Amino acid sequence: MFSYKTVSLLLALLLSSCATPRFTYSDYLQVEKGMTEQEVVKILGEPTKVTGGSVDTGTIGSLFGLDNLSGTTMIWNTDKGKANVIFFRGKVKTKSFSNQF
């Protein structure tokens, strides 16, 4: 039979393997302006938080080819740092990184 410690260790390993992959600062540096959301997730792993929104610009926006403005913000949060990537029309517009203390 398995001991309590063995079962606990196996459970901890199983749960940690389900967690969001831990990105590094060097991973973050690979993210470049113009990348798609899928390309960024492939580098950094699944984000901790995702928010999005869109705005219908109406007639004035359509004059400039901007009928609908949509964007997404993805956040990756670990004990070592926090990465924010803002996407405009599905591509990286800006990114930022901060250390967590």
pLDDT digits (tens, 9 = 90+) for 31-83: 999 999 999 999 999 999 999 875 554 555 555 555 556 789 999 998 889 99
pLDDT computed for residue 2 by the predictor: 52
Residue 2 within a domain: no
Confidence (pTM): 0.66
What tokens appear for 94 in the block? 């800006």
What is the residue range of 79's domain? Answer: 22-98
CA-CA distance, 73 to 85, in Å (whole number)? 6
Domain count, the chain: 1
Is 47 within the bounds of a domain?
yes
Mode of pairing for the β-strands spanning 68-77 and 49-56: antiparallel
Please indicate whether residue 5 or residue 90 has the higher confidence score (pLDDT).
90
Measured from the Cβ of residue 83, the count of other Cβ atoms closer than 10 Å reads 22
Supply the CATH number for residue 83's domain.
Answer: 3.30.1450.10
DSSP class of 100: -
Establish if 36 belongs to a structural domain. Answer: yes
